[in-house]
Amino acid sequence: MSITDFNCTYNNGAGVNEEIVQKTKLKFPDAYKNWEDMAVLAKEIKNHEDASFCTLPFCHTLEGEALGAVINYGDERIGPRGKDYLTSSIEDLLSISELDFSKGRLAEVLKACSYLRQEGENVALYISGPFTILNLLIDLRYVFKAFKKSPEVMEKILEKLRVELLRFIREAQNMGVNIFSYGDSSGGLNILGPKLSEQIVEMFTYPLLKEAQQIITEDSIMLLCPKTSFALIGTNKAKWKDVELVESMKYDKACVSMIGKAKFLGEMCIKNKNYILKDRVIKSIELI
């Protein structure tokens, strides 16, 4: 088995285009916090980029904040990012509370998703992987140390995160989300190395996606970060399947066209919306 890495060229905290800021006249960072502004911003970004779906939230800090991390909301130039860790003790993470979908920014994001779907928009929701979440709660040096010295503790923490993410996916599905985007920018092969990357696929990624596959309806689809896709393929947990498209089209449009025809896609980054599939073929991912 050998995992191939994917060279990501996108910044997780890129901010908002100045033209969009001027057009919407939204105030930042308030626009990242309430559902009405989120909906306006998501729709305007979609139109500005000539995209096929709205994308929420505008960062990868949502789950970490809901679990207790302190977030710097930034402004229109730099989006939300981590500010202060919740703890420096790995054991403390065993007692973090469950995600509460009724309050805070988490609730606001779900309301925005629901509203946009009612308005007829396709809505893509970012779901962060374990290392992206943990990187907001605790310095990852303690996490890597725990994998060596207290693997049983890390196994329990990962199981807790897996359960919470599945709850999140189920709740978002109930709110109408029809496109899920899963990635773990802090947990790529270039950071974890081959051995731990393989271990995470076995302990977390594969079990998560196997269960998510049952939650996601025929009216929904999940787009995987290519780093995740290659990790699954490289550990023989999934395989590619070529699916013919009716015409050459942009990647984001092709993803929408595959709803109901595949559960997982992941050959290209969700942010690379303008990538043209010239050969009229898109690769779906089938879990083994």
Query: How does pLDDT run across 124-143, given as a tens digit for each residue?
Result: 999 999 999 999 999 999 99
What is the full DSSP assignment across 86-113? Answer: S-S-GGGGGGPPPP-TTSHHHHHHHHHH
Domain architecture of the chain: domains with CATH: 18-225 (3.20.20.210)
pLDDT at 38 over 80: yes
Alpha carbons 166 and 162: distance in angstroms, whole number: 6
Q: For residue 274, how many other CB atoms are within 10 A of its CB?
A: 12
pLDDT at 91 over 60: yes
Contacts of 151 (CB under 8 A, 6+ apart): none
Q: What is the pLDDT of residue 11?
A: 53
| Selected residue with higher pLDDT from 273 and 56 | 56
Q: What is the pLDDT of residue 219?
A: 95
pLDDT band at residue 274 using 50, 70 and 90 as cut-offs:
confident
Q: What is the pLDDT of residue 141?
A: 96
Q: What is the pLDDT of residue 102?
A: 97
pLDDT at 70 over 70: yes
Do 223 and 265 touch, CB atoms closer than 8 A? yes
**210's tokens:** 């196997």
pLDDT at 228 over 70: yes
Q: What is the pLDDT of residue 117?
A: 98
pLDDT band at residue 16 using 50, 70 and 90 as cut-offs:
confident
Query: How does pLDDT run across 94-125, given as a tens digit for each residue?
Result: 999 899 999 999 999 999 999 999 999 999 99
Do 285 and 209 touch, CB atoms closer than 8 A? no
Residue 216, Ramachandran bin (φ over 0: left; ψ between -120 and 50: alpha; else beta): beta
Closest CA to 12 of 48, 47, 43, 55: 55
